Every structure is written in structure tokens, then in C-alpha cells.
Amino acid sequence: MTAAGGRYDAAVTGIGMVTPAGLGTAASWDRIKSANGTAAQRVPALSGIPADIGCWIPGFDPAATVGKRKAWRLDRSSQFAVAAAAEALADAGLDPAAWDGARVGVVLGSGIGGAATWEKQHNVLLGQGSEKVSALLIPMLAVNMSAGYVAMEFGARGPNFVTATACASGSTAVGAARELLRGGHCDVVITGGAEACLVPSIISGFQQMGALSVRRGEPTAASRPFDVDRDGFVPAEGAAVLILERPESARARGARVRAHVSGYGASADAYNATAPEPSGAGAELALRAALKDAGVDPRSVDHVNAHGTSTPLNDLMEARLIRRVLGDRPAVTSVKGVTGHSLGASGAVEAAVAVLTVEQGIIPPTANLDSQDPEIDLDVVTKEARPADVEVVVSHSFGFGGQNAVVLLTRP
């Protein structure tokens, strides 16, 4: 719908989450509000490497969603995507048996794709030879397959793709999904992100870059966004899915509109493969584009759901950006203190949290923020969830490659 001032709102009518904080949206949200970190040492899938702390999802049963006969054919990342989509569709009250599937799109973000499948089959190649490599390697590892399997599972025959902008992928997906509604290409878009790359090769790569926290003796304290003692991110897995529709069609079918996606902005740092441009000039382009897209004055943003990875460079750059563009008004939080950094899924997880914040008037706290970095001059919510009247929230995501995506949500 085009609101006053030409703004285009996409209605969020459903949420699904499979995160280290919980199986399902309710469990994830409760744990995120508790500021109780989920990182664990000796993650089974990381056995044998020093950097074996991560936020993983024990107890996830893929057969519960896709059935036992199909589950083995999907990489863990696609299993997460299908499970989160199933919850989101049920939450939205949409029945895939009754819809016009040609009008339903799927846009998911993923940084890496089927990492566990790739690593396992590479080991088969080296150990047993080419003729033993799985015929399912390609459909399990390709980065587009999460969206493909969601389409197959629910009969969504509209536009279907995966966005890959590293740690911004989930936010990029939400922005692209809104464009499919705005352009009239779809009536419903299943959007979000999924990632499952807690495997030795990938995590060793992050470790060798110096991107990970080395606080291995106390894993639940390792992810500490904006804290003066932060030393890197904690890798995570998971998925989140939002259902987007036009507000008028959502209301016409009696759906609950939980928030609007009212703005989106994207940019590139064009600076460095992994380090953010320190002044935040690149990220600022994305933030200002999102504000302009939504027709929102920077001084009326109530809350920032930050990228807040707990790396020294990101958090400082982001804090300066927020202060410079939005001033000292917004309450800031990073849920990565609880969830860790689920890379290509993180933007979707955080957009889902932002929807819940708008809907329920609760800003979850930043876990482990014991001593705020004195260079970070922001109102960061810590220790306890804060009740707040949030009309406008921006959710930042900044990816390797210098790829930035900002989603702006409003209260309907």
C-alpha cells in the first residue's frame, strides 16, 4: 500500500524462527528477551578444531517438518528454511492448499549454502574417490536451494531466489521481497534467511581471519556487542522467515498485520573485503536510503536493532553511524549477545525480532554488556528487556564484501 507521502508498506503477517535461542518464534523470543546467551563450547559439528564454540541448535528434528523420507535429501540450511517457513505460514493463517501458488514468491538469504554437505562430500572425494561422491551433492549445497525447497514444500510457484550478501543476506532478502509486492509480481512473499555453516572448514576460515571471539573458556559471555572487552563474533546457525503481503489484501482476508516493512536501503562500501569502512560512510548510504524510502525523519527513529556483531571494528563503526545519523534518541540493541551471529540468516532473525518489538513494545536487551565501550556513546539496552513505545525501528546488516542492507519497520 502506498501510505501518505508515497511510502510503500508491506505487511508482516507471519513469523517463523528456528534459532539457537529456541525452536519456534515464541521460544526464540523468550530467550532473546532473557539476555541469556546460547553459545556453547565443544559444538559437536566443530569437533577437532580449536574454535569449537558456537550457537547451534540441538534437538532440531527435520523430519518433523519435511518428513523422514525427504529430510535426508536436504542440507541442514534448507531444513531450517522449510521449518521456519512452515511456522510463518501457519502463523499468518495461510493455507498452501488453497492459495494461487503462482502469486506466491520466495526470497531467502544465505551466505554460504550447504556447507556441511560440501565439506562431507569433499572428504569423501579425498578419502574414497570421485565415484563415491553423492549424487545429491549439488542440490544439497547450492546456495539457492533453501528457497527452492520452500517452494517445493508449499507449492509457491512465483518468483524464487536466494540473495547472497554475506551477513546482510537476510536483510537483502526482505528488501527484495517487498519490491516483488510493490512491483505487483506477487501477492504473498515468503522471505527471510537460513544458514548452517558450523563446520570445521568454514569456522577455521573465520578463525584464521581473527573474526571470532577467543573467549573459549566462557562461551556464553563470548558474544558481547558494544562491550569494551568484546573480541569477535560467535558463529551461529538458524533461520527466520517473515510472510509479507499487501496491507489491504492482508486485512481483507482478516489477517493480523504485525508490523509494516516501510523502507529499505542498500549500499556497498567499495573499500575492503572484510573490514568495514571505518567512518561508516558506506553503511550510512544504506541507512539514509532506507529512511528516505520510508519518508522517515532520522530524528524520529525510536529503536535500532543493530548489526552489533561483537567485533571491535563493526560495533565502533556502527555506533558512530547511529550517533551521527540518528542522534542520541534511539534505544539500541544487538540480539547477537544471545543468538550469536547466524551470518546470512541474521538479518532475517533480527527483522523478526524487530517485528516483535514493534508489536509488543518490548526492546530485548544486549547480553553481556557489562562495561560499555567508552567510545560508544549510545543508549544501549542491557541487562533487562525495556518496555518502549516503538513506532519506527531500523535493522542494520553489514556483510563481508562491504555489502550493507537496512530494513525499516513501522507500527501499522
As annotated, the active-site residues are 167, 307, 341
CB of 79 to another protein, least distance (A): 12
The nearest distance, CB 66 to another protein, in angstroms, is 10
Binding-site member from 26, 44, 95, 132 for another protein (CB under 8 A): 132
| Nearer of residues 8 and 118 to another protein, judged by Cβ | 118
Using CB under 8 A, which of 123, 134, 272, 371 touches another protein? 134
d(CA 260, CA 406): 14
Considering only residues 136 to 165 of the shown chain, the ones binding another protein according to CB under 8 A are: 136, 139
Distance CA 37, CA 368 (A): 8
Q: Which stretch binds another protein (CB under 8 A): 131-139, 236-244, 295-303, 335-343?
A: 131-139
Based on CB atoms, which residue is closest to another protein, 149 or 400?
149
Q: Are the C-beta atoms of 302 and 394 separated by less than 8 Å?
A: no
For cell 527466520, name the residue.
240
Least separation, in Å, of the C-beta of 246 and another protein? Answer: 37
Binding residues for another protein, rule CB under 8 A, total 13
Residue 146 CA to residue 82 CA, distance in Å, equals 7
Nearer to another protein, 98 or 135 (CB): 135
How, if at all, do strands 160-163 and 362-363 pair? Answer: unpaired
Interface region with another protein, contact rule CB under 8 A, candidates 106-114, 134-142, 170-178, 300-308: 134-142
Q: Cβ of residue 241: shortest distance to another protein, in angstroms? A: 24
Min dist CB 48 to another protein, Å, is 24
Give the one residue of 135, 184, 254, 374 binding another protein; rule: CB under 8 A: 135
109 in contact with another protein (CB under 8 A): no
Q: Residue 47 or residue 69: which is nearer to another protein going by CB?
A: 69
CB atoms near residue 370 (< 10 Å): 12
331-333 vs 379-380, strand pairing mode: parallel
Smallest separation (angstroms) from another protein to the CB of 138: 9
Cα–Cα distance for residue pair 39/54, rounded to 1 Å: 5
Minimal distance in Å, beta carbon 136 to another protein?
6
Per-residue 3-state assignment (H helix, E strand, C coil) for 284-327 = HHHHHHHHHHHCCCHHHCCEEECCCCCCHHHHHHHHHHHHHHHC
Alpha carbon 47 to chain centroid distance? 26
Are 235 and 197 a contacting pair, CB within 8 Å? Answer: yes
**Are the C-beta atoms of residues 169 and 110 closer than 8 Å to each other?**
yes
Contacts of 219 (CB under 8 A, 6+ apart): 37, 39, 40, 41, 53, 234
| CA end-to-end span of the chain | 11
Nearest approach, Cβ of residue 133 and another protein (Å) = 9
Rg (CA), the chain: 20
- Segment interacting with another protein, rule: CB under 8 A, options 128-136, 195-203, 247-255, 326-334: 128-136
User: Which of 4/69 has CB closer to another protein?
Assistant: 69
According to CB under 8 A, which residues from 17 to 36 bind another protein?
none
Burial class, 122, CB count within 10 angstroms (exposed 0-12 / middle 13-18 / buried 19+)? middle
Nearer residue to another protein within complex by CB, 66 or 221: 66
Q: List binders of another protein among 33-92 (CB under 8 A).
A: 63, 67-73
Of 134 and 300, which has the nearer Cβ to another protein?
134
The three-point CA angle 307-78-174 to 5° equals 40
Q: Which of residues 295-354 bind another protein (CB under 8 A)?
A: none
CB-wise, 151 or 381, nearer to another protein? 151
Contacts with another protein by CB under 8 A lie at 63, 67-73, 132, 134-136, 139
